[in-house]
Amino acid sequence: PLDVGLAVESPKGLVAPVITDLGSATLDDVVEACTALVESARNDTLRASQLSGGVISISNVGMFGATGLIPIVNPGQSSILGVGASQELFRPDDGGKPVLRHILSLALSCDHRVVDGAGAARFLQSIKTGLESPYKLLRRAGVRTIS
Per-residue pLDDT for the chain (147 aa), expressed as one digit of tens each?
A: 799 999 999 998 999 999 998 888 888 889 999 999 999 999 999 999 999 999 999 999 998 999 999 999 999 999 999 999 999 999 999 999 999 999 999 999 999 999 999 999 999 999 999 899 888 877 776 776 665
Q: What's the pLDDT score for residue 124?
A: 96
In a 10 Å sphere around its CB, with 0-12 CB exposed, 13-18 middle and 19+ buried, how is residue 77 labelled? buried
| Pairing relationship of beta strands 4-6 and 56-60 according to DSSP bridges | parallel
Q: Residue 110: beta bridge partners?
A: 79
- For 34: left if phi > 0, alpha if psi spans -120 to 50, otherwise beta; the answer is alpha
Domains contained in the chain, CATH given: 4-140 (3.30.559.10)
Active site residues: 112, 116
Would you state the pLDDT for residue 26?
83
pLDDT at 146: 62
